């Protein structure tokens, strides 16, 4: 086992001082060509690489980014991570991923763990429990300590920091508008309880589009599920009691499940009923029929988040100026709507 070599080891072997070695490896002008060559050759031979931890301690910079997300078995969040990774890696940063699993406590614990020197900044999306509790002290503490924070997708106005979101209201609006333009009159919305910021915004867009088109806003056509799991019973019950000619769902799973339900009832999609979902994932692409969806551009979101964070991390000035970037969603039209 050839263990890692340190500056000290090189110094001892070559009978020079540690600082000489350090300078030589940085190609300092102070050191003579001869000794530089000797030291560099030796270092190369023994594959010397500076120890990241020591450098972190010295520089008070870890070159690590903490990413805290509610769920990783989830298409949207993984695309965001991919975007973060891409940008961060290019800038020499590593990404420490922590999962809150939608739990407030885990979110707090994870952040505290990372905040003690492990990372230079946070990129995160709030857990549903945190949004429900509306308690953001753990975020505030972090920012008060001067640790940069970027919130994405599931954000809150309660915390002053950089944010990256998509215009979910616009997404809801665009989708609903599309259904209206198809001539649909009885447009249902399947969503989650309002505590989830994104669901709320999407519902807002839905309402706006309906009102704008002078379609009545029928609250009984809105189904609010308490979690993001597919609640089969509620959905069945809903469709047994509602006549609809179009459905907007706040995620892929609700969409595909509902669609199948109506298909089993003998309805044709999109002839009898049109469907639009949120998230442009595998399900949308491979469902039958393929789904028309509002795409969220997660990878872009990740890249922008990372960019904003690293800028803050590396900027010297202390001026507290935060911005919120709003990305526009895109309607990807496929076969669950009429073209």
Residue ranges that bind DNA, judged by CB under 7 A:
6-8, 15-20, 22-23, 25-26, 28-32, 34-36, 48-51, 54-55, 57-58, 60
CB of 34 to DNA, least distance (A): 6
Rounded-to-integer distance, Cα 148 and Cα 311, Å:
10
**Contact (Cβ atoms closer than 8 angstroms) between residue 164 and residue 325:** yes
Binding mask 216-255 for its own copies (x = CB under 8 A): ------------------------------------xx--
Instruction: Tell me whether residue 40 or residue 78 sits nearer to its own copies (CB atom).
Output: 78
CB of 251 to its own copies, least distance (A): 11
Q: Identify the helix (H) or strand (E) that includes residue 276.
A: strand 274-278
CB of 185 to its own copies, least distance (A): 27
What's the Cα-to-Cα distance from 78 to each of 69, 75, 100, 251, 254, rounded to whole Å? 10, 5, 14, 15, 19
> What is the CB neighbour count within 10 angstroms for residue 296?
25
CB of 283 to its own copies, least distance (A): 6
Instruction: Tell me whether residue 35 or residue 56 sits nearer to its own copies (CB atom).
Output: 56
| Site for its own copies contains 324 (CB under 8 A) | no
Among 8, 26, 44, 117, contact with its own copies (rule: CB under 8 A): 117
Judged by CB under 8 A, the stretch of 21-29, 143-151, 187-195, 220-228 that binds its own copies is 143-151
> What is the CB neighbour count within 10 angstroms for residue 237?
12
219 DSSP assignment: G
The backbone region for 242, taken as left when phi is positive above 0, alpha when psi lies in -120 to 50, beta otherwise, is beta
Instruction: Tell me whether residue 69 or residue 147 sits nearer to DNA (CB atom).
Output: 147
Tokens representing 76 are 């949207």
| Site for its own copies contains 32 (CB under 8 A) | no
| Site for its own copies contains 91 (CB under 8 A) | no
Q: How far apart are the first and last CA of the chain?
A: 65
Among 25, 36, 39, 85, contact with its own copies (rule: CB under 8 A): 85
Find tokens 């969409």 and name the residue: 255
245 - beta bridge partners?
none
What's the Cα-to-Cα distance from 258 to each of 62, 114, 180, 199, 312, rounded to whole Å? 47, 40, 19, 17, 44
CA-based nearest residue to 122, from 105, 103, 101, 141? 141
Instruction: Tell me whether residue 186 or residue 290 sits nearer to its own copies (CB atom).
Output: 290
Subset of residues 275 to 294 that bind its own copies, contact rule: CB under 8 A: 281-283, 286-288
Residues forming the site for its own copies (CB under 8 A): 1-4, 49-54, 56-57, 62, 64, 72-75, 78-79, 81-82, 85, 89, 94-99, 110, 112-118, 144-146, 252-253, 256-257, 260, 263, 281-283, 286-288, 318
């Amino acid at each position: 086992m050839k263990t890692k070599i340190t500056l000290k080891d090189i110094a001892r072997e070559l009978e020079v001082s540690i600082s000489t070695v350090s300078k030589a490896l940085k190609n300092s002008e102070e050191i003579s060509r001869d000794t530089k060559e000797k030291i560099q050759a030796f270092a190369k031979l023994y594959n010397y690489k500076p120890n990241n931890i020591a450098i972190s301690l010295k520089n008070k910079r870890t070159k690590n980014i903490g990413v805290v997300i509610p769920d990783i078995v989830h298409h949207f969040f993984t695309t965001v991570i991919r975007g973060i990774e891409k940008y961060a890696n290019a800038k020499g940063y590593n990404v420490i991923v922590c999962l809150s699993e939608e739990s407030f406590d885990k979110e707090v614990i994870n952040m505290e763990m990372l905040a003690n020197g492990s990372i230079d900044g946070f990129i995160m999306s709030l857990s549903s429990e945190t949004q429900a509790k509306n308690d953001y002290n753990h975020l505030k503490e972090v920012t008060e300590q001067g640790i940069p924070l970027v919130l994405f997708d599931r954000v809150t106005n309660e915390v002053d920091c950089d944010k990256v979101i998509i215009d979910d209201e616009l997404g809801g609006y665009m989708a609903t508008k599309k259904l209206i333009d198809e001539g649909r009159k009885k447009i249902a919305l399947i969503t989650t309880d309002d505590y989830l910021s994104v669901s709320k915004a999407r519902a807002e867009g839905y309402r706006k589009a309906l009102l704008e088109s002078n379609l009545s806003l029928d609250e009984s056509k809105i189904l609010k599920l308490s979690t993001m799991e597919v609640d089969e019973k509620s959905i069945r019950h809903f469709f047994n009691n509602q006549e609809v000619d179009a459905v907007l769902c706040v995620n892929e799973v609700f969409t595909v499940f509902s669609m199948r339900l109506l298909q089993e009832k003998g309805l044709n999609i999109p002839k009898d009923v049109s469907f639009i979902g949120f998230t442009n994932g595998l399900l949308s692409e491979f469902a039958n029929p393929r789904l028309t969806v509002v795409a969220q551009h997660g990878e872009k979101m990740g890249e922008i988040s990372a960019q904003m964070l690293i800028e803050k991390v590396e900027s010297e000035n202390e001026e507290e100026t935060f911005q919120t970037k709003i990305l526009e969603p895109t309607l990807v039209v496929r076969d669950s709507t009429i073209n």
